[in-house]
Amino acid sequence: MNLRDLRYLVAVAEHRHFGRAARACYVSQPTLSTQLKKLEEYLEVQLVERNRRRVLLTPLGERLAERARSILSAVDDMVEVARAQAEPMTGDVRLGVIPTAGPYLLPHVIPDLAQSYPRLRLHLREDLTQRLLDQLRAGSLDGAILASPIAGDDLVSEPLCHEPFYLAVPRGHDLDRPEPVDAKDLQQTELMLLEEGHCLREQALELCRRNDVGEAAAFRATSLETLRQMVAAGVGVTLLPALAAAASRLGPDHAAISLRPFAEPAPSRDLALYWRVGTAREPTFRELVERMRSAAVLQDPTQTLPAA
């Protein structure tokens, strides 16, 4: 038994398909299948249930795949410790980002990082908060850009930026006024929100609960862009964090949307970069945070938006 065989087992557990697992491991499907069979013979147990329609792991296979993830994570961390000690801004870094931040943040920071650190290879993954946290804690991600705070003492974080929320309303709407919006002004309005799993949804619901504001339950979006377009079409109103609100000003239908700041205390969120306690990549992440903070869009996410 070797580390390669453990990687094959983990790949099958993740992809539930021999072909996709083989591609993820950069080997042929017969090679992967043969090595897993040898692993089963070595351990004298069945790890995988094989049929023509799908691939399933046996209960024992699931348990051993989880152990294999931990072993591989520890081995990868040993390699990273050695590399990061000498050259922290080189090698592969797997970075997750929530979808309500990725499209509005990454285009402003990734080109600069690629130019400044040409030997650092960022592998980006966009996903919902809980899935990113699971992957970060399991070792399949090295770090993640999330909305803070995150509970637990197993992670370290450094703040990236503070984002006030803006109310996005159709032009000519009753709430399209010169003065800042008081949250209590929304009591006769139903907010369009994201679907379950988005941390931004929970933050918006907290605003609704505190101010007796309703949710437009007949519609839930999978992205902020969908919400923005629904506002532009005159369907309803929504909340946009500052980075997304600023980006909406570049859309072809921006003239159909009015972005209204909130009166103090304005609802807001904070973005931070998280990584595991004790990771060898800590010097890398601290340098990345400093570099990201220097981007104009993070120094002042509200610079192109109405003042409260």
For the four alpha carbons of 59, 61, 66 and 71, in that order, the dihedral sign comes to: positive
Which residues lie below 8 Å from residue 134, measured CB to CB, with a gap of 6+? none
* 38 touches 62 (CB < 8 A): no
Which two three-digit tokens encode residue 59?
């209960």
Which residues lie below 8 Å from residue 243, measured CB to CB, with a gap of 6+? 101, 104, 105, 161, 163, 297, 301
Which two three-digit tokens encode residue 32?
């992967």
Kindly list the domain boundaries of the chain, sorted by start residue: 3-82, 90-308
Q: Position 49: which residue type?
A: E
**pLDDT tens per residue across span 67-111:** 999 898 888 777 776 666 667 888 889 999 999 999 999 999 999
CATH topology match: 3-82 vs 90-308? no
- Topology of domain 90-308 in CATH is D-Maltodextrin-Binding Protein; domain 2 (3.40.190)
CA 76 to chain centre: 22
Decide if domain 3-82 falls under CATH 1.10.10.10.
Answer: yes
**pLDDT tens per residue across span 226-254:** 999 999 999 999 999 999 999 888 878 88
pTM above 0.85, yes or no: no
Q: Taking the CB of residue 219, how many other CB atoms lie within 10 A of it?
A: 16
Average pLDDT by stretches of 10, the chain with 308 residues:
90 90 92 92 90 82 91 81 72 94 93 92 95 93 95 94 93 91 87 90 86 83 93 93 89 89 91 93 93 87 69
